[in-house]
Structure 1
Amino acid sequence: MGNDIELLANRSLNNLLLTQELKTGFDAVARSVRNMALYQDHARKQEEKQVIDSTIDRNTELLETLNDSSTLPAGKALLAQLAKVRPAYISAVKEAVARELSDNPEEKMMLDDMRRAQLPVFKTLDDMIELQKNQAIKLAQKAMTQANNGGNLMLTLALLATGLGALIAFLIAYTLRKQLGGEPAYATLITQQVAQGDLATAITLRPNDTSSMLAAMNTMRNSLSAMVEQVRQSSESIATGSSEIAVGSADLSQRPEEQAANLQQTAAAMEEISQAVRQNADAVHSAAQLAN
């Protein structure tokens, strides 16, 4: 499509404009020749002759440009036809101008001869213009068709890209939910609760889910709960042991006191025995004396 648009803009339309300018130049020559026939002032006639000469030179430049830029075989053929009939036309124009500038009244221009010479020239120019118009229309229609096809293709590609983007987004979301084990918002809530020390919250898992983040977090929560329970039980055991040690310590502190009391009681008993022995000895002694 880009090549067709470039061909349309840079070559076909340009050749059409050049051909139109060429046709305008030939018209200008014919108009100037007619003006020379109407003017009585010789100076005005000289001005028209200058216009004719400059226009013929410009037409020659335009024909050279068209020969260089034309690529259509039909266009080349028409340019060849124009090059064939133009010399006779130019000769007729120059002869008409020379007659009009002549001071001999009998040598006034014969416009009929020039008109007969310019008929094939104008016919060829009209054919060239028609060819360039048809080529421009053909290229424009082709470019429009390609543009429409390109637009349809772009629309199709856009729809495919949209569908593909939606599919990719769905797959990403599905993969993310699968890796998380649930919706991201729910996973965030559970993470915050566990981070705050709430180990009693039940975590909802999908059936047979053992590899998601929520499944791993549920395992971690269970492990933490078991560790906390073990720590609690250990703390209770330590507290019980401490109580028992305290009781034992109290018992140990009471035993020396009880032993001291027992010793005092023993000493008192020994004292009583000693008194009884002395009393018995005294009695025996008294009895011995009485026996003597």
Structure 2
Amino acid sequence: MHWFNQLRVTTRLVAGFLVVAVIGAVMGLLGVVNMGRMAEWTGKIYNGDLQALKAVQDANINLVYASRAQIGLLSASTMGERSAEKDQIVKSLGTMDERIRQVAGAFETPEGKALVKQYQDLSPAFRARMDKYVELVGKQPLDTSQFESQVFSESADLIKDSHALEAVMFQMVKRRDDRARINMEEARSVYHASRLWMLGLVLGGLALSVLLGVLLARALSRQLGGEPGYAAAIAARIAEGDFSSPVKTRAGDKSSLVFAMQQMQQQLSRMVRDFKASAESIGSASREIAAGNNDLSQRTEQQAASLEQTASSMEELTSTVRQNADNARQ
């Protein structure tokens, strides 16, 4: 971590915040991706499984309607009732085939395709037999006691065929139900995996954030050498000229701000002592120079007085010489 401690404080703080931001971004991205996967599985369950299940069940219901109308043909008391039951059979069988055709593509597995193929093989034969049955009943009188025996045998055969179709559609419903259950389990597994990932990232991000905070705090504390308030108080005392208060540093501290302020305090204290000593030396020398100047001045005055006396004596001597010279001429 030596390289980390060499970085600027601003760089370290920005790096720490960036790491936390990246963790948050990863968590958000993972959440978005997993939400998309959950939406995909949900859409697959609804559009693929539930819609197919509903369509097959609807086809089965229409088969029941057609079988009910088939029985209704036998008990119809008027030609209008026969016509209504015939229309119901045509409508129900048409709706049944249409609903199966709509969802045939949803059965993508080999087993599902086999079921669709089985239905496609049974349905045309069933409809053809139903058409023959309807035509046969249409030829019968309204009194059921006068029906041909073939009508009842054909009706029994149609019921068997309808049971075969029902069995196929039951298997199709079961297939879609199983597929929906599998998709639901996969969606649940995606949810659980996403929850574990999110929980892991949250805990990891929390741990990493705490670690970065501790590292940054230790690095800043190591650089400062103490609390920022303590460093500010030391600077204030030094600014006021107080060099006597001790500056406490941590054991082994040789590079912090507080250590540098301690060195500065000691250097300033030594410089002040040196300045005082120098000032006292200069003052003593100045006093000695002043005393020497006074002595020189006194001597100069004495010499001046002696020179004046000498000059006076010279004048007197000159006057005497002049008088002697005058006396000699006389």
- Residue matched to 1:213: 257
Distance 1:214 1:63, change over 3 A: same
**Equivalence for 2:186:** 142
Amino acid of the residue matched to residue 217 of structure 1? M
Between the two proteins, what is the percent identity of the paired residues?
28
| Structure 1 partner of 2:55 | 18
1:55 aligns with 2:92: yes
Q: How does 1:101-250 map to 2 (within 5 A)?
A: 101=138, 104-105=141-142, 110=152, 111-240=155-284
The CA distance in 2 between the partners of 1:19 and 1:165, in whole Å, is 55
Q: How many pairs align?
A: 274
Residue 38 of structure 1: how far off its partner (Å): 4.8
- Greater CA drift, 19-28 or 91-100: 91-100
Q: Residue type of the partner of 2:224?
A: L
Q: State whether residues 19 and 125 of structure 1, in contact with CA within 8 Å, keep that contact through their aligned partners in structure 2.
A: yes
In 1, the alpha carbon distance for the partners of 2:124 and 2:260 equals 99
Partner Cα separation in structure 2 for residue 40 and residue 198 of structure 1? 124
| Larger of the two Rg values belongs to structure | 1
Distance change in 2, residues 1:258/1:42 (3 Å): farther
Query: Cα distance, 1:124 vs. partner?
Result: 0.9
Q: Pairwise mapping of residues 250-289 of structure 1 onto structure 2 (< 5 A)?
A: none
Task: Pick 1 or 2: higher relative contact order, CA cutoff 8 A, min separation 6.
Answer: 2
Deviation at 1:122? 0.5
Matches within 5 A, 1:33-48: 33-40=70-77, 42-43=79-80, 45-48=82-85
Question: CA shift at 1:40, angstroms?
Answer: 4.0
Matches of 1:196 and 1:9 in 2, distance apart? Answer: 80
Change (3 A) 1:18 1:239: farther
1:173-219 CA-to-partner distances (Å, cap 9, x unmatched) read 22222222234443344344434543333221222321222222222
Equivalent position of 2:115 in the other structure: 78
Candidates 47, 67, 76, aligned match of 1:30: 67
C-alpha distance in 2 between matches for 1:160 and 1:38: 76
Looking at structure 2, the residues matched to 223 and 51 of structure 1 have their Cα atoms a distance apart, in angstroms, of 112
CA 1:173–1:119: 2 relative to 1, 3 Å: same
Question: Is the partner of 1:113 in helix, strand or coil?
Answer: helix
Q: Verify the 8 A CA contact 1:99 1:107 in the aligned structure 2.
A: no
Give 3-state SS (helix, strand or coil) of 1:142's partner: helix
C-alpha distance in structure 1 between counterparts of 2:63 and 2:95, whole Å: 10
Structure 2 unaligned blocks of 5 or more: 1-33, 317-330
- For structure 1, which segment, 247-256 or 26-35, has the greater mean C-alpha deviation from structure 2 after superposition? 247-256
TM-score by length of 1: 0.72
Query: Could you say if the C-alpha distance between residues 26 and 189 of structure 1 is closer, same or farther in structure 2, counting changes exceeding 3 Å?
Result: farther
Q: Tell me, in whole angstroms, the C-alpha distance in 2 between the residues paired with 1:35 and 1:138.
A: 41
Structure 1 Cα separation of the partners of residues 235 and 86 of structure 2? 100
The 1:32–1:235 alpha-carbon spacing in structure 2 relative to 1, beyond 3 Å, is farther
- CA spacing shift, 1:54–1:199, aligned 2, 3 Å: farther
Aligned counterpart, 1:283: none
1:67 aligns with 2:104: yes
SS at match of 2:165: helix
- Deviating more after overlay: 167-176 vs 250-259: 250-259
Deviation at 1:238, TM superposition (A): 4.5
RMSD (CA atoms):
3.8
Amino acid across the alignment from 1:126: F
Distance (Å, rounded) in 1 between the aligned partners of 2:184 and 2:105:
23
C-alpha contact (below 8 Å) 1:92/1:117 kept by paired residues: no
